Amino acid sequence: MTLRDCWQLRQTFEVLWIATAMMVWSLAAPLSMRAADTAAIQSKHPKSKAAGKHSSSTFNTPSNNLTKSGLDGCQVYKVKTLPGSHEYASEFLETMATDPRTRSSNEVWGLTADMDSHVPAAERAIYLSKSSNGGVTWTPIARLSAKYFNAKIGEGLRNGLAVTPGGKDFVVTTQLGAFQVIPHAKMSDAVVRAIAGPRVPETRPKVPIPKQAGQPVRAGVVMITADGKRMLIGYGYFDLTPQIFIYRRDKQGEWVEEGRFPRLPNDLDIFSMAYDDPHAAHPRSLYLGTGDQAYRLNLSTMHWTRVTGVGPDSAIHGMSTVGGLHIAACWGVYNPVTPDEVARVTHARFLLHRMKDEVGPNIRAYGIEVDPLRPNREVLSAITGVYVSKDDGQDWRRLNDLPEGEFHTAHFNADGTVILSGFAGTYIANPFSSTCAPQLQLRGR
């Protein structure tokens, strides 16, 4: 399958997905794959035998007093403290965020969506939770009820989360726009404010979706500067041509629209964004990952430059700018060369399909994280699991002590442990421990 095939299949499948307007979480596993991979899915529910299949290691539930020494070796620990029904995918951290002033921390916030068809409609929700011990335990700090999202249009897969300095308030994005969330002592007392954004135009989109003219446009990727004064939000999918809005924080602490980028380098959906230095109050560049390419925007001249080295029709699902631009794409992983150039990893032996032994570099990757304190260490989350590199992304090995399945997110803790999350749940591991040697194990033929 070529890179162009990947984009065309993804685009075709998502058109059908939106048009059907089905409840996504009851079918989240098959819908998250594009057409080429649906045959590899055995069950939509983790309680089934296929969904629970994993290697010989036992998943332990970490206790509140788990320390780094308790994670030595390759054993992974399954997190069981996330809120909600614990039905399918409610324990999947679809996105994680940290205080933008901190380069590395064991304090992290995460977003989960509890929308399985087994959950009564009145109880479906998006939860914002916090962990102060590197993901061992999580405390819900806000609950967004159904009036803040639209579960009929792919909710729970592309929601965004941003944290203001000090972790005092947050911005969550959904199919119904963007919302400022201000937690209080009780989760039920959290304040949720709608942030002004674009509306569905009168001209109907080519793909019919369950939205009417005048309703909020889907909000996706969101970023807040390290000083907490500026914010970028990417809007649009099938309900509007993608746009990036610029916001400033007023004296009352609310987000006010300041403008929008006059043009984007193409009209495809926005999958990822990253500043060249996410910890700078005034970054110099913005990297943008779209449905087919990666670009860099010079924030002084507002000039777009296409990042060279990226294959054609590559959906840029994730990126990191620690030590340069690292990209997780469809199909491939890219390492930095210059600010405007990357090089594709061509010799890696990623497992390409969960039900086959085929290996190679053409992995469908969803997220890439680089350890800010140890930038030679990287974690890649992908359709066939999690891979780690300890040599700046040159060589990769698969973590086999996780359940088979699709992983999307990862976070490096300050102590070297890693939070890993996918449809099968959330786990903590120490893959770079001196006693851990993850390898790519092939099934017997």
pLDDT digits (tens, 9 = 90+) for 305-349: 999 999 998 999 999 999 999 999 998 999 999 999 999 999 999
pLDDT score for 72 = 54
Residue 438 forms part of a structural domain: no
Residue 316 forms part of a structural domain: yes
Residue 27 forms part of a structural domain: yes
The residue-averaged pLDDT of 195-219 equals 87
Q: 297: domain CATH number?
A: 2.130.10.10
Residue 174 forms part of a structural domain: yes
User: Is pLDDT larger for residue 10 or for residue 241?
Assistant: 241
pLDDT score for 211 = 86
The residue-averaged pLDDT of 61-78 equals 58
pLDDT score for 60 = 60
Q: Structural domain tally of the chain?
A: 1
pLDDT digits (tens, 9 = 90+) for 135-178: 999 999 999 999 999 988 878 888 999 999 999 999 999 999 99
* pLDDT confidence bin for 249, thresholds 50/70/90: very high
pLDDT score for 437 = 53
Residue 112 forms part of a structural domain: yes
Cβ-contact 131, 107 below 8 angstroms:
yes
Arithmetic mean of pLDDT over the chain: 84
On the 0-12 / 13-18 / 19+ scale of CB atoms within 10 A, 395 is: middle
Residue 160 forms part of a structural domain: yes
Residue 435 forms part of a structural domain: no
pLDDT score for 325 = 98
User: Is pLDDT larger for residue 436 or for residue 31?
Assistant: 436
pLDDT of residue 194 exceeding 90, the answer is yes
Rounded Cα distance, 61 and 56, in Å: 16
pLDDT score for 67 = 45
Task: Give the chain's length.
Answer: 445
pLDDT of residue 68 exceeding 70, the answer is no
Q: Which of 17-26, 40-49, 111-120 is predicted with the least confidence, judged by mean pLDDT? A: 40-49
Q: Which residues contact 254 (CB under 8 A, 6 or more apart)?
A: 180, 193
Domain holding 250, by residue range, is 3-429
